Chain A
Amino acid sequence: EPEVTQTPSHQVTQMGQEVILRCVPISNHLYFYWYRQILGQKVEFLVSFYNNEISEKSEIFDDQFSVERPDGSNFTLKIRSTKLEDSAMYFCASSAWTGGTEAFFGQGTRLTVV
């Protein structure tokens, strides 16, 4: 069964460092997303990406964040200068269609900023 894969599963980084979280969405999907979940809190939308550009972003997704689809398979989230409050589980998701169809989530990357 096709699945969304994320790497690494866990990343520890020093405050102020740049991190890149990687995702391989399901191959025939067209819509890609990043969500995050701070420990014990709800899952929050960060950004959606379609046709090689951001289609929507939340207030959380400020200038420190960027997304890229550098080739036909990978989808990355970059945090330029990490803060302690960026510590969270980051989930990548993809869907075949828009309009709120089923989204397939990866297993997440646990980011710990120290």
Chain B
Amino acid sequence: SQQGEEDPQALSIQEGENATMNCSYKTSINNLQWYRQNSGRGLVHLILIRSNEREKHSGRLRVTLDTSKKSSSLLITASRAADTASYFCAETFGNEKLTFGTGTRLTIIP
């Protein structure tokens, strides 16, 4: 897969269900971040997980990182209509720039 590729590309679930998105990367990382983008809008930072961390929580968000598999997952629990957006992982290594994945388009059905 390509650097920072999310899976699935699109996901539709019923409101209240949990949504899981996965991200794979190829190189070593300092940290991995997840961002949300509402249609046609800017990116909003959700959570950052460092390379020496395995799991992190923030509200309804849970992120895991498996450096041996070069993968991360984002879990959104008890989804709401307002969670409808595109979600991107972005990795950094050795510098400041973010390398974004292809994104998962999440649709929450009321």
Q: Are A105 and B44 in contact (CB under 8 A)?
A: yes
Chain A contributes a number of interface residues (CB within 8 A of B) equal to: 29
Chain B contributes a number of interface residues (CB within 8 A of A) equal to: 26
Complex interface: chain B residues within 8 A of A100 (CB)? 30-31, 33, 48, 91-93, 95-96, 98
Contact A102/B88 with A31-B96, A107-B42 known, Cβ cut-off 8 Å: no
Query: Interface on chain A toward B: helix, strand, loop, or mixed SS?
Result: strand
Bound: A41/B69 CA distance, A: 25
Complex interface: chain A residues within 8 A of B103 (CB)? 42
Q: Are A99 and B100 in contact (CB under 8 A)?
A: no
Give, as a whole number of angstroms, the nearest-CB distance from A81 to chain B. Answer: 25
Complex interface: chain A residues within 8 A of B45 (CB)? 102-105
Bound: A16/B50 CA distance, A: 43
Is B60 part of the binding interface, using a Cβ–Cβ cutoff of 8 Å? Answer: no
Give, as a whole number of angstroms, the nearest-CB distance from B25 to chain A. Answer: 13
B33-59 interface with A by 8 A CB criterion: 33, 35, 40-45, 48
A4-61 interface with B by 8 A CB criterion: 4, 31, 33, 35, 42-45, 48, 50, 55-56, 58
Q: Are A98 and B96 in contact (CB under 8 A)?
A: yes
7 contacts between A and B (CB under 8 A): A4-B42, A35-B100, A42-B102, A43-B43, A43-B98, A50-B96, A105-B45
